[in-house]
Amino acid sequence: MKPLLMIPGPIEVSPAVLEAFSTPPPGHLAPRVIEAFGESLAIMRRGWMANRDSQPFVIAGGGTVAMDMAAANLLEPGERAVVVNTGYFSDRIAEMLRRQGAEVTEVRAEPGDVPAIEEVARALDAAPVKALVATHVDTSTAVRVDPGPLAALARGRGVLSVFDGVCATGAERFDMAGWDADVYLTASQKAIGLPPGLALMVVSVRALEARRARRAAAPPMYLDWEEWLPIMTAYEERRPAYFSTPATNLILALETGLREILDEGIEARVERHTRAADAMRSGWNTLGLEMVPAGDDVAANTLSALRYPEGVDAALVGHILEQGVIVAGGLHPAIRNEYFRVGHMGYAVTQPEMLSRTFQAIATALEKSGVELDTGAVDRATATLSVL
């Protein structure tokens, strides 16, 4: 049997998504690609709960390209950015901002926690700031920030707000219009439910204006919103256009994947991921596993970060694989060898048997590593999935 891919991206994809990209590569001017591209852009505004005048972008690349794009378009040398740092991917975007020549203030918490909003406010008030940047779900710790209050802090001060939603978009609540946020970016292989290969983002009018008002040199061409804007406009108007070849198979899959999200409804989908995450947490508890996040209120819907029990180390990940399930090791540099990560987003959350297989594989691997589980623990963990 093919091992089950339960890492925090790439993830198992739905049969419909699989079918959509399993086709000989169409040309980028093929009518069905233009249609799928245009439709995807329109659906993104709704999935992101964004204003009609906001601008979606779909670019071949990964989440890292989307992050670089936000940094390169918005920050000029000498301008200040505040980064709410919750882990590995916050470190990455802080470094990207520094490479733009920005002065970066990082507001940090202990691994597994979120900085207090007052501290973020103090950093914003200390000196003029161009952008506030936060990682919606930091995939290295499974910690989720609450974007609404952060976006409000930024807006109240005329600061742009940028959220890395790479492990969140499509499974965590994000009300781009309601919160008046400026950039919400993601990649195709996480909660959106596609293979890797696409950088996706929706950008506010304000953020596009900030790019246009730029005095420093233009961003590198591939990262420049101004280069891509006419292309996105053309696709939305169902006209052919070319700047750099889109990942055509993935564009077909994108329309299918986004339509699945829209058909369920973004709110219902977030709700389902919330229920799944709650069930997974009770399951971990039953198996005697402790979580990295400091509390359920800061724990993500999309993945769990679990500490190795006493006497168990990173070899556990290999033992879980022997049981036919792929999970991920630790990623946060300060605690890398102390925990492992399990993704629970997208298609897997519609398939309770995938989640119960995961519980079973982890329980067996724990027992092989010498951990004694209570009798019936796996059954009780699995029973929590009945809410799905």
Which residues between 48 and 87 bind ligand PLP (CB under 6 A)? Answer: 62-64
- 163 counts as binding ligand PLP under rule CB under 6 A: no
Please identify, using beta-carbon distances, which residue of 63 and 112 lies nearer to ligand PLP: 63
- 346 counts as binding ligand PLP under rule CB under 6 A: no
Closest alpha carbon to 173 in 265, 304, 271? 271
Closest alpha carbon to 273 in 360, 350, 186, 358? 350
Among 85, 135, 256, 304, binds ligand PLP (CB under 6 A): 135
Q: C-beta of 161: minimal distance to ligand PLP in Å? A: 16
Q: C-beta of 368: minimal distance to ligand PLP in Å? A: 30
Distance of CA 62 to the CA centre of its chain: 11
Closest alpha carbon to 106 in 91, 118, 117, 121? 91
- 167 counts as binding ligand PLP under rule CB under 6 A: yes
Please identify, using beta-carbon distances, which residue of 90 and 248 lies nearer to ligand PLP: 90
- 170 counts as binding ligand PLP under rule CB under 6 A: no
Please identify, using beta-carbon distances, which residue of 145 and 207 lies nearer to ligand PLP: 145
**Per DSSP, what are the bridge partners of residue 143?**
138, 299
Look-up of token digits 């309770």 = 352
Q: C-beta of 188: minimal distance to ligand PLP in Å? A: 8
DSSP string, 323-340: TTEE-EE---TTTGGGEE
Distance CA 42, CA 255 (A): 10
Closest alpha carbon to 293 in 332, 235, 239, 329? 332
- 164 counts as binding ligand PLP under rule CB under 6 A: yes
- 172 counts as binding ligand PLP under rule CB under 6 A: no
Residue 52 burial (C-beta neighbours within 10 Å; 0-12, 13-18, 19+): exposed
- 233 counts as binding ligand PLP under rule CB under 6 A: no
Q: C-beta of 268: minimal distance to ligand PLP in Å? A: 23
Tokens read off for 234:
């053309």
Among 153, 166, 298, 320, binds ligand PLP (CB under 6 A): 166
Please identify, using beta-carbon distances, which residue of 86 and 105 lies nearer to ligand PLP: 86
Please identify, using beta-carbon distances, which residue of 164 and 255 lies nearer to ligand PLP: 164
- For 247-259, b/e burial (b = at least 16 CB within 10 A) is bbbbbbbbbbbbb
Interface residues toward ligand PLP, by CB under 6 A:
9, 62-64, 89, 135, 138-139, 164, 166-167, 187, 196
